[in-house]
Structure 1
Amino acid sequence: MIYFDQAASSHPKPSEVGEAMIQALNDIGSNPGRGSHRLARKAADIVTDTRERASRLFGCSDPQKAMFFSNATEALNQAIKGLSWSQGDHVIATVFEHNSIRRPLEYVKRTYGVSVTYIDWDGDTAAFERNIREAVNSNTRLIAMTHASNLTGDVLPVEQAVTIASEHDIPVLLDASQTAGHLPINMRDMGVDMLVFPGHKGLFGPQGTGMLLVEGTVELEPILHGGTGSFSEEPENPQKWPEKFESGTLNTPGIAGLNAALAVYEAEENKNVPRETMLCQSLLDSLRDIDGVTCYGPDECQLPIVAFNILNIPSQEIAMILDSHYDIAVRAGLHCAPLAHQFLETTNQGIVRVSLSKYNTKEEVKYFLQSIQEIVSAYKMM
């Protein structure tokens, strides 16, 4: 099968990832932080090394504030729900937010009486900056935004949002689910207070891994409580980071795989404009030349994502045809981003999303384009 669903979960993974996971599972198998014996120490070393590597790669000053979660969704929930909320507080987000941000925001809105402003993004940086400035008020407590749309691949102007946030002493939460592994990210340089990313997308790590990195003095309360392997005599979670936020047994094999994936990424010499983004540009340019195809998102690929529709055909139908007749895997539907579809006026049809990785080839793209041309021709004959 040709796998063009890399934005959902990357496949295949580097061999180092699986090897590290198997070693952690078969040769170590112990619980980090739950004992002083040799195997427990080896498990703890894996966890510590991964914290340090992630902090080094993404510009987090304190590795103790690099915390593990089961996925980016869980990490975003901790970042949002862990803040201290009061009635009348205000949050700024964007229409391109994944439900992993939108739903926690709607939860605090419903639970605490917080208001949320969702800012449009149509490629106009000046308008985006102006709209954020107009939205900020004395009760704005957070700017929570995606670094890039999982639907169209639009990279949003984070720098402008951070500048405004710093002027008003508002913390910024950045969802790097689509950009980690594709674009250079440094929290300190960018002025980002909280960064979230999954292991299983652009970083080529395993599923079931995600991280929340916190820079500076942001205060959070844990949303999960339980055993932490330390301070066991206390009735409350320990106040020490990261134990405060990591109740329960960590996914050591997954973290080992994530560490291996981060090491592969760290060793890459060029982290700017990967070849898969350039390959995606070729795909996008050719799709635009097919009569009956409508493309969405930026004219120039910023990430290896292309979003499109064919005539007025439901996107799920196109995906099913690509799967069953051409052996091509793509994603279709609403992509957990309903506000983005409302903005693009594609809620009823959905969108077909193609996403590539460094393992995809020119030959695969050529075959995909031939398939689309055949599908369009067939529908036009009906």
Structure 2
Amino acid sequence: MKPLVYLDHAATSWPKPPEVMQAMQAAMAEAAANPGRGSHQMAVKASRVLFETRRVLSRLFKVSNPNDVVFTHNTTEALNLAIKGLLQEGDYVVATMVEHNSVRRPLEFLRRTLGIKVEYIPVNGQGELDQRRLKEALAKRPKLVVCSHSSNLLGSILPIAEIGKMAHEQGAVFLVDAAQSAGCLEIDVNVMHIDLLAFPGHKGLLGPQGTGGLYISPTIDLEPLMHGGTGSQSEEIEQPAVRPDRYEAGTPNTIGISGLRAGVEKILEISTSRIYQHEWNLTQRIMEGIQDIQGLRILGPDLRKPKTGIVSFVSSEMDSSEIAFRLDREYGIAVRAGMHCTPLAHEAAQTLQTGAVRASVGIDSTIEEAGILVDALKRICGRA
């Protein structure tokens, strides 16, 4: 077995920092009771884990009140809570062609069941929004504007602050999918006019799978996605109005959330700007190394343009799945091939029929690993 070169961080970051695993072990040993459901010492420790994690997330995203950060199992659940908790029959929504299925499928479900109207703003092959179409759509005064901060296929970065300002000028609620940006791009919910911010714990925030969350502006009340026990106002038949209990029915993933706290603390220690620069440098190394391989086309922003740590490509000579398979079996390199749950972005990139190979770097990726990928692709796809 060759040493694993892990380049699938856009799906899940790995390996996790030692601090994350240590925090989870400590929580399992010392804080594994139900938070908010008891007054004994271990229950209090569990409650403290949740609060401290909300606090560090609030520091990262510049949130004023930690109780406006609610925990979910992943970004998908957070997006479903935001979309289904806000929209009503006949509402009009503006989204983009780089949205993940975690946005598109809930919207299409509500289109079918509630008759909402949805417009997806086109992007070009670089992942840049059609500004004219965006302004025309916003002039129709949508109820909600949904935007991915960074495409999980193209790596393009959308102008969130500008879009948020435009959305608010038209009275719209602004929801941002930070699945590919949390932990590597600066996010300020106030400066960027973000009302709802969905984020994963298991990607750039370095936490374990099964963690994530949603920031909910204090000006917005969503209908809960889940109903059940919260440990508060148990005598009432309705979900409590108080946050975060209103949106966190059932026993939370305290162990995982403890690991998430350690991951976010690591991000705050290093800084998102340093992480972004590190990952950008690696993408440039990969793009420079493979740009002259015959038949290979790199998707998304050109060399030296801003982008997150993603390099996707297609070959006119070989199927994307075969490339990924051979990288894994022959060179011990983990990448991902296929549609990446974002068919509209593939449509924009003209890869809807072929899919693409996606290599994605992370905080622990190295320039040596980038070189190993480049060398392997030259051997697999042909001489440069």
Give the TM bin, normalised by the shorter chain: over 0.9
Runs of 4+ in structure 1 over 3 Å off? 123-127
Deviation track 1:175-229 (CA, whole Å, cap 9, x = no partner) reads 0000011111010111111101101111111110001001241120101101111
Instruction: Determine if contact 1:84/1:220 at 8 Å carries over to the other structure.
Output: no
* Counterpart residue number, 2:371: 366
Aligned CA distance change for structure 1 residues 9 and 270 (closer, same or farther; 3 Å): closer
Which residue number corresponds to residue 209 of structure 1?
A: 211
- In the other structure, the counterpart of 1:279 is 282
Aligned-partner residue type, residue 322 of structure 2 = E
C-alpha displacement of 1:138: 4.4
- Structure-2 separation of matches of 1:349 and 1:143: 30
Distance 2:86 2:232 in 1: 24
Task: Give the CA deviation at 1:355.
Answer: 0.4
Q: 3-state DSSP class of the match of 1:39?
A: helix
Task: Tell me the alpha carbon deviations over residues 307-366 of structure 1, each in whole angstroms, 9 at most, x when there is no partner.
Answer: 101224221111111111111100000000011112222112100000011212222221
| Corresponding residue number in structure 2 for 1:136 | 138
C-alpha spacing 1:26/1:127, structure 2 compared with 1 (3 Å):
closer
Partner of 2:65: 62
**Matching residue of 1:291:** 294
Residues 8 and 335 (structure 1), Cα distance of their counterparts in 2 relative to 1, 3 Å cut:
same
Partner of 1:118: 120
The offset of 1:269, in angstroms, is: 4.5
- Contact 2:82 2:196 (8 Å CA) reproduced: yes
- Partners of 1:208 and 1:120 lie apart in 2 by 32
Give the superposed CA RMSD: 1.7
Q: Residue 191 of structure 2 aligns to a residue in which SS?
A: helix
Pairing 1:207-356 to 2, within 5 Å after superposition = 207-269=209-271, 271-272=273-274, 273-299=276-302, 300-356=305-361
Find the partner of 1:52 among 50, 55, 59: 55
Provide the rounded CA distance (Å) in 2 between the counterparts of 1:28 and 1:126.
46
Asked if the contact 1:59/1:189 (under 8 Å) is kept, the reply is no
Residue of structure 1 equivalent to 2:190: 188
Superimposed CA distance per residue, residues 201-258 of structure 1 (whole angstroms, 9 cap, x where no aligned partner): 1111111000100124112010110111111111111111111110000000011000
Counterpart CA distance in 1 for 2:362 and 2:140 is 43
Task: Tell me the residue number matched to 1:105.
Answer: 107
Which stretches in structure 1 are left out of the alignment for 5+ residues? none
Moved more, 268-277 or 255-264: 268-277
SS in 2 for 1:212: strand
> What is the one-letter code of the residue matched to 1:355?
S
* Cα distance in 2 between the residues matched to 1:259 and 1:362: 28
Q: Does 1:150 align with 2:137?
A: no
Deviations along 1:8-56, one digit per CA (max 9) or x if unpaired, are 0000011000000011112221110010001100000010111111112
For residues 250-291 of structure 1, give each alpha carbon's deviation from its aligned partner in whole angstroms, at most 9, with x where no partner exists: 000011000011111111256253312211111112211222
**Other structure's SS at 1:145 match:** strand
One-letter identity of the residue aligned with 2:172: I
Alignment check: 8 A CA contact 1:61 1:215 kept: no
The amino acid of 1:196's aligned partner reads: A
Do the aligned partners of 2:98 and 2:345 also contact (CA within 8 Å) in 1? yes
Aligned residue type for 1:174: V
Rounded Cα–Cα distance in structure 1 between residues aligned with 2:116 and 2:60: 34
Q: C-alpha distance in 2, partners of 1:291/1:145?
A: 35
SS at match of 1:274: helix
Matched positions, count: 378
Aligned counterpart, 1:357:
362
2 CA distance for matches of 1:46 and 1:369? 42
Decide which of 30, 34, 56 is 1:31's aligned counterpart: 34
% identity of equivalent residues: 44
> Whole-Å Cα distance in 2 between the matches of residues 291 and 84 of structure 1?
48
Task: Give the direction of change, closer, same or farther, for the CA distance of 1:155–1:24 in structure 2 (3 Å limit).
Answer: same
Cα pair distance change 1:301/1:330, threshold 3 Å: farther
Residue identity in the other structure for 1:256: S
Q: Aligned partners of 2:92, 2:271: CA distance in 1, in Å?
A: 41
For 1:199, the equivalent position in structure 2 comes to 201
Unaligned stretches of 5+ residues in structure 2: none
2:17 counterpart of 1:18:
no
